[in-house]
Amino acid sequence: MEKSSEILDKIGRKSGMTVPEGYFADFASRMTESLPERQFNEAAHKRTFWQKIRPYTYMAAMFAGIWCMMKMFSLIVQGGNVDLSIDNYPVLQTALADDSFVDEFIYSEINRYDIIEDIYEADINPEELFTLVDE
Amino acid sequence: MPISQKVPNFTAVNYCNSNRSMSKETPKENPELIERLRDQQTCREAFGEVIAKYSEPLYWQIRRMVVNHDDANDVLQDTFLKAWNSIELFRGEAKLSTWLHKIAINESLTFLNRERKRQNLSIDDEASMLVNLIEADTNIDGDYLAQELRKAIAQLPEKQRLVFNMRYYDEMKYEQISEILGTSVGALKTSYHLAVKKIEQYFSNLD
């Protein structure tokens, strides 16, 4: 509820403005008489095919967008749960089962220094190891 | 400016001039009237009814903004001409009265901007321009307080002036003003409240 204003209550809703006598009746008839001829544009009333299907097109596009978003989301979520074990990759499994592949492509890249370092990191004395190899 | 001078030349192919008589009966705002406005056989007669019904409320709305009677008369003519020429764009989703009020407000503001530019005044000088017009207005009943209230309203920013006029003088509901001005009801209530405060301040400064 609006608070009433003392001064506005005192003045009232009378604006104090006047119009010449008979102005409104005269205006209505003059204005109606002077209306210009207007070309009727039938095309404005007829809805084009695109205007008719536009809301359905937008709705279909919106649903397609939501579907794509859901699909992407599910792929991302699934990506986190994929089993990364070697059993899941038969091609790699076959390749690693082949000794020549391992010798050629994996061991050839490793030098003696790397092997000794790995042995040290595993807390094994390399001299003991060499002794065992010699025996 | 007489109406005839404002009327542009139209070279139309199809005309709607079937009936020039104007019904005195005030039409109700209904789909039937809208249909008649769109029908080239009945549009002129139907628009005559629209003019008869809305010319007075629109005139007062315009007059409160532009102050001077002759200017209000010109702006009212422009309002109806614009409505007549674009009646096809009226889809009937909003009320006809709302649509006409929107056109009237736009025309009033356009007129005020044009006048301000013509007189080389800044937007801050609009209030003094309006006060000068109020003081020069001869179509008044001589009520001192009503005249001072008009001056107080003239000091308000444009939006507050519009809201105050529609709420106070036309006693429109905020929902209807909201439809016309495209502003939220909350913002309108704030505008009205601020306007009343400023008007009270104006009168307290007079004392």
Domain architecture of chain B: domains with CATH: 1-139 (1.10.1740.10), 147-207 (1.10.10.10)
Global ipTM: 0.74
3-class DSSP assignment, residue B92? coil
- Where exactly are the structural domains of chain A? 44-82, 86-134
- pLDDT for A40 equals 64
Query: Quick one: average pLDDT of A116-135?
Result: 74
What whole-number distance in Å separates Cα of residue A112 and Cα of residue B176?
Answer: 89
B147 contacts A35? CB cut-off 8 A = no
pLDDT band at A110, cuts 50/70/90?
low
What whole-number distance in Å separates Cα of residue A21 and Cα of residue A39?
Answer: 35
pLDDT tens track for A28-38: 999 999 988 87
3-class DSSP assignment, residue B64? helix
- Spatial CA neighbour of B46 closest among B14, B13, B74, B80: B80
Q: Would the CA dihedral through B151, B154, B156, B160 be positive or negative?
A: positive
Write the burial class of residue B13 (CB in 10 Å: 0-12 exposed, 13-18 middle, 19+ buried).
exposed
A8 contacts B196? CB cut-off 8 A = yes
How confident is the prediction for chain A on average, in pLDDT? 79
DSSP-derived secondary structure for B104-157: HHHHHHHHHHHHHHHTT--GGGHHHHHHHHHHH--SB---HHHHHHHHHHHTS-
A36 contacts B84? CB cut-off 8 A = yes
3-class DSSP assignment, residue A19? coil
B48 to chain A: closest CA residue: A32
Nearest to B147 among A3, A16, A35 (CB): A16
- Spatial CA neighbour of B187 closest among B200, B196, B176, B178: B178
- pLDDT for B182 equals 92
Higher-confidence position of A81 and A62:
A62
Which of A37, A45, A51 has the highest number of chain B CBs within 10 A, making it the mutation to test binding with B? A37
Provide Rg for chain A, Cα atoms: 45
What whole-number distance in Å separates Cα of residue A39 and Cα of residue A30?
Answer: 21
Give the gap in angstroms from C-alpha B80 to the nearest C-alpha of chain A. 8
Nearest to B22 among A6, A16, A28 (CB): A28
Partners of B193 on chain A (C-beta within 8 Å) are 2
Residue pair A18/B140 in contact (Cβ under 8 Å)? The answer is yes
Q: Which positions of chain B have pLDDT values less than 50?
A: 1-28
- pLDDT for B25 equals 33
What whole-number distance in Å separates Cα of residue B9 and Cα of residue A82?
Answer: 76
The two counts, helices (H) then strands (E), for chain A are: 8, 0
Instruction: Give the position of tokens 């209807």.
Output: B176
Q: Which residues of A59-68 are buried (b: 16+ CB within 10 A; e: fewer)?
A: eeeeeeeeee
B40 to chain A: closest CA residue: A40
Percent of chain A with pLDDT over 90: 22
Torsions phi, psi for A44 (to 5 deg): -65, -30
Torsions phi, psi for B41 (to 5 deg): -80, -30
DSSP-derived secondary structure for A67-83: HHHHHHHHHHHHHHH--
Q: Would the CA dihedral through B106, B112, B113, B118 be positive or negative?
A: positive
A45 to chain B: closest CA residue: B88
Regarding pTM above 0.80, the answer is no
- pLDDT for A83 equals 65
What whole-number distance in Å separates Cα of residue B172 and Cα of residue B163?
Answer: 9
